[in-house]
Structure 1
Amino acid sequence: MALSGYKALDAKERVEHERFMAAAISYGIRAKGRTWPNPPVGAILTKDFGDGPVIVGQGATLPPGGSHAEVLAIKDAGEHAQGATAYVTLEPCAHYGRTGPCARALVAAGVARVVYGTADPNPAVAGRGKKILEEGGVDVLIGILEKDCRQAVRGHISRILNERPFVQLKMAVSKDGYIGKRGAGQVAISSPLSRQLVHAMRAQMDAIVVGIGTVLEDDPELSVRLPGMAHRSPQPVVFDSQARIPLSSKLVQNAEINSLWVVIGEHAPDHRVSALEREGVTVIVNDCLRNGKVCLDKALDALYMHGLSQIMVEGGAELAHGLLQQDLVDELLIFQGANLIGSDGIQPFGFEGLESLRDGYNKQMLRPVGEDLLWRYTPKERF
């Protein structure tokens, strides 16, 4: 039977449930970037031995083929799972895939109550996990820290509702709103602290995407360069309609290590495509071109079909403008530096500046990052 709704809880109950759900969210965050196409779910089990509930089990979903968060938390709790309360960020799954249904595992373990943050929009799960739990005699409470839980599994929600990955666009602009200076090459805008934060963000993404222009200009590695974090580097992806990426580029030279994907047009020269494949590059053919460029919506469809749930785009002005123009950006993060570039600066979105976002996006200052400011823009009409 379902417990009373979240709003009907008294203040003490709310605080307790929110505290443990926050812990479950933190465990789920550890799995971000490693579980695609599965959602990065976090779960904990608590039990009261007389002095208030304590955590007895915890888990975060493993990469595909591995156990889900709920099963790991049950195993971690051992005999204490009997009569425990489970906090799960997403409705426990109800279907058989590479692993069995987590809802049935919770029932079999004797868990007395399941508190989950948000329902799963996946038709294979939606409401079915809840039904299995209730039919198994488990009390169910839904909606604790729901907004935070949806944020934690936003890539999964985008896959189900939009049939494409969640798209986070990241850019750095000067204090006066420019991304570079004409004729000056690469200009350092962000502070060292901001660059470190970007690498930490990369570690939580499934993939990092750039256009061929960025590769030709900067020869990036698209890796996580923080101590001990290289293994958390996301899947690198390049949009390159004519397969122009140099074989000498860092990305191609490391293709067998970083599993580089290059999205090309169907008329890309065969000799270039063959050369990339010999270097270990995975070539994804996009049969749609607009003005000689890869169709961005179709490219995102291809990434969805390859299992990606959330991507960070670090492309230049042209790629950023294209994504925004087609309403394909779910979150825009802008690191605003403290330096000025002046009148010969390059606008972040082609001929359009930051003011072009005013009508369609909500703007929020997240926090200072050293001398920089981190701004977040989200579409006004989006889940």
Structure 2
Amino acid sequence: MASGRRRQAPRSLGILLLAVVGMTCGGELSFTLEPSDIIAVQEQPLMLHCQVEGIPPITTQWRRKGALIVEDQNYVMFANGSLLIGHFQKTKSDGSSDEGDYECIAQNFFGLVLSRKARVQAATMADFHVQPRSVRAELGGAGRFQCQIHGLPEPVISWERDGRPVDTSDDRYTLLPTGVLQITGVRPEDSGMYCCVAHNSAGVKHSTGAQLTVSGSQSSVYKEPMILVGPENLTLTVHQTAILECVATGYPRPIVSWSRLDGRPIGVEGIQVLGTGNLMISDVRVQHSGVYVCAANKPGTRVRRTAQGRLVVQAPAEFVQPPQSIARPVGTNAIFTCLAQGEPVPQITWLKNGQMLEPDGHVKLRNNNSFSFGQLRGVA
């Protein structure tokens, strides 16, 4: 598959006129290590790191949800600036919680610096919201089981058959990152009770069991290609991974291929085929948006069956060209320009001193998202 021309996220252009006084700042303190986001385990100790360099003496403190933390038997502050939570609790007896945003504060004679906010969340595991269902498959056909569960961190999914781990090193077994288990070329020994197993730092959970029943006998009779499971419509954010399923059966076994409905090439960068025909697109971009067509072809013929699904990739708004500080003589024009991109196309709003600007005789909007000040009368 050849790579097509990359399509950038739609952009918004804005122009605003305003003179802003620039400021520079400096300090004698700087962080060499700031706290990072952590997923904590209930009743386990947790360390938040903070290191700062500067002219001594330096004192450090911590805040959680904006309030200063007082040392006690559960909160210990070390001389190097780190904070130890002895026994992390999502919900305490008094109704409070160790969850929240933590900040490290360092101070010396010259001033004070504040670290980034580190979010501390409890590891969790919900109940399965999608349980596997029993299926019946013909000998040589395909079977598919699915389960879904929410957790923090994202639970790792594995499968068991009759209480024993499924050997996914067998090419006939495909375990997708979404937790779906696919079995192709089904054999009698594949029959049994299948169970989905989810585990993360919060614990382990087993789904209800689902039976795979294999019927029929080995046959070389021609069977039309058929797509059992096709790609679903997906809406993702840039940098996520898209999994487009395609499970096909028939005799002889059909060949699965992929294309885009608009005729553009799918490309090769970040593209991987999983199992017998599933398409995985890693690190999706806006240009990956489109309708994808899965085709099951009878070998050596033009006989084929197709299924399609739409992939929509959204991109958060970001500034490509933020407005720059300028100065102009009284009575002259001044223009501020702002360029932003994202998918969907972002809408730009202008503020002055925290108040929304509205077009008038003194302020004009250009390109739907730009402001031009005419006859600026010394207003900053």
- Regarding TM over 0.5, the answer is no
Q: Which has the higher helix share?
A: 1
Q: Which has the higher strand share?
A: 2
Q: TM-score, normalization: structure 2?
A: 0.24
Larger-gyration structure (1/2): 2
Bigger relative contact order, structure 1 or 2 (CA pairs below 8 A, ≥6 apart): 2
Q: TM-score, normalization: structure 1?
A: 0.24
